[in-house]
Amino acid sequence: MTRTGINLLSRPLLAIALTALSLSWSLAPARVCSDSSGLSTSAEIEADFNAAPCKDSQRLNAVKSLFEKMGAAPSDVAVEKYRGVENVVVRKQGASDDKIVIGAHYDKVSDGCGAIDNWTGVVVMAHLYRTLKPYMLKKTILFVAFGKEELGLVGSHAFVDRIKKEELPQYCSMINIDSLGLAAPQVLDNTSSKKLTALTADVAKELNTPFAHAGISNADADSSSFIARKIPAVTIHGLSNDWMKILHSRNDRVSRVNAANVYLGYKLALTLATRVDESPCNAYR
């Protein structure tokens, strides 16, 4: 999250797993187990964000290692360097070249550990990769860890800048995950497309997940770079009302992360991604 302004396998199996899990999630979240369904557990996700590297210089390699831990071959993990910024891109080929981008920035500001902002997003994105990897989806998914978000969305600007005009129609939607874990998942209205926000609200209702959306006038996120190129995009965050006392300060550390709220973000983003995958590519434009 960047401060701005004054304040600086088969598809049916996945569907069944998600339906079953939405019941389990609402009944007994602690009992959800990854053994049969392929879904990550809250404890697994918590263990990974507890290992958040507090030094910015360690983060690029940590992202690569995390994706490899989640089952990516080293050759699947590409570091794209462009305009002085490095983005980590992991491609999961689908039945078509229509694309969904799932993104989270990996860089941090100098203060604090960047646990909430945004190692939570990186870890959730990596677990989404692991969960979706066995399934042949309709669309190709690009998992992208953006660099230099905190310097003004530099990595995501560079990423969209490389998309040729004639390729734009193949970019169906972008789901950005930034700063989970202080409260239940929410959509940041000022950096999100209306139709994708409405879909996210519908998905949250189906999952019985607490959900809200609102604008935060002094916050920006990588989804803005995609919207600027007319690619539908949504930012899911988990900020509380006192976020300005925590983000970009020494208070942004692992002990402030609420694991249950991060897990809600994981299941919301997972179901949202499968719903977008099932839709026509232009459904949310």
239 counts as binding Zn ion under rule CB under 5 A: no
Q: Of 43-51, 65-73, 110-118, 191-199, which part binds Zn ion (CB under 5 A)? A: 110-118
Measured between alpha carbons, how far is 29 from 25 in angstroms, rounded to an integer? 4
| Site for Zn ion contains 1 (CB under 5 A) | yes
Q: Tell me the C-alpha distance between 167 and 188, whole Å.
A: 27
Residue 117 interacting with Zn ion (CB under 5 A): yes
Q: Output the DSSP codes for 112-179.
A: S--IIIIIHHHHHHHHHHHHHTTS--SSEEEEEEES-GGGTSHHHHHHHHTS-GGGGGGEEEEEEE--
The least distance separating Zn ion from the CB of residue 111, rounded to whole angstroms, comes to 10
Determine the residue type at 183.
A
Size of residue set near Zn ion by CB under 5 A: 2
Q: Which is nearer to Zn ion, 56 or 68 (CB)?
A: 56
Cis amide linkage into residue 261, ω under 30° from 0? no
**Collapsing DSSP states into helix, strand and coil, what is residue 212?**
strand
Tell me whether residue 25 or residue 243 sits nearer to Zn ion (CB atom).
243
Examine residue 252 and tell whether it contacts Zn ion (CB under 5 A): no
Nearer of residues 65 and 218 to Zn ion, judged by Cβ? 218
107 binds Zn ion (CB under 5 A): no
Give the nearest distance from C-beta 248 to Zn ion in angstroms: 6
Cα 70 to Cα 63, 179, 210: the distances in Å are 11, 21, 28
Minimal distance in Å, beta carbon 20 to Zn ion? 35
Contact residues: Zn ion, CB under 5 A: 1, 117
